[in-house]
Amino acid sequence: MRTDSPLVLDVRELLESPGVQKPIAFSEPVAVGTDLAKLDGDLLLDLTLEAIEGGILVRGELSGAYTGSCRRCLKPLDGVFDVRASELYRSEGAEVWEEGYAVKDSKVDLEPMILDTVGLALPLNPLCREDCAGICPRCGADLNDGPCDCGPEPDQRWSALEELKGKLNG
Ligand SMILES: [Zn+2]
Ligand SMILES: [Zn+2]
């Protein structure tokens, strides 16, 4: 864990005062997402930390903007997201679980939680619009601009075979 990261928070004091809620709000660029949709600019963190039985409860909101490309036509697109987080960082000495987050050296590292939570909040199949027509698999024309000259799609049952033939013919 990089202890100099702003995403690593010292919770020593908090651990000694159960029940006290500590609000934290800051923004920070984080590398999260895929080529289809990734965080653009800073992630806004608006969280509350609280020492509870078993560890540190981290909850609040993560929000920001993303850029990516349309899954069907590959045009650039963007959007915003706003996701709620509520995770327990287990105390040192508590039973260690394979999964989940843990307090280490009296610190919590928000990054893994951010990667998980924001990763799920970003669209898996971003579309420039619901009814994006995509690009023609044969000539590559953007079908949102109108039909291309390739004619109607061949029967779906044959398309796998055509694809295979295409591969064989190189
Ligand atoms: Zn599109
Ligand atoms: Zn075409």
How far is Cα 109 from Cα 30, in angstroms, rounded to an integer? 13
Per-residue pLDDT tens for 76-118? 999 999 999 999 999 877 565 567 899 999 999 999 999 999 9
C-alpha 143 to ligand 2 mean position (Å): 8
Report whether pLDDT(140) > 70.
yes
The CA distances from residue 35 to 106, 113, 119, 148, 158, in Å, are: 35, 20, 12, 27, 31
Question: What residues have a C-beta under 5 A from ligand 1, the ion?
Answer: 70, 72-73, 128, 132
Closest ligand to C-alpha of residue 128 is: 1
Tokens 């560890």, residue located: 55
CA-wise closest residue to 56 among 106, 117, 99: 106
pLDDT score of 3: 64
pLDDT of residue 170: 59
Q: How confident is the model at residue 165 (pLDDT cuts 50, 70, 90)?
A: confident
86 CA → ligand 2 middle, Å = 48
Ion ligand 2 nearby residues (CB, 5 A): 136, 138-139, 141, 148, 150
Cβ-proximal residues to 48 (8 Å cutoff; 6+ apart), any chain: 21, 22, 23, 24, 58, 59, 60
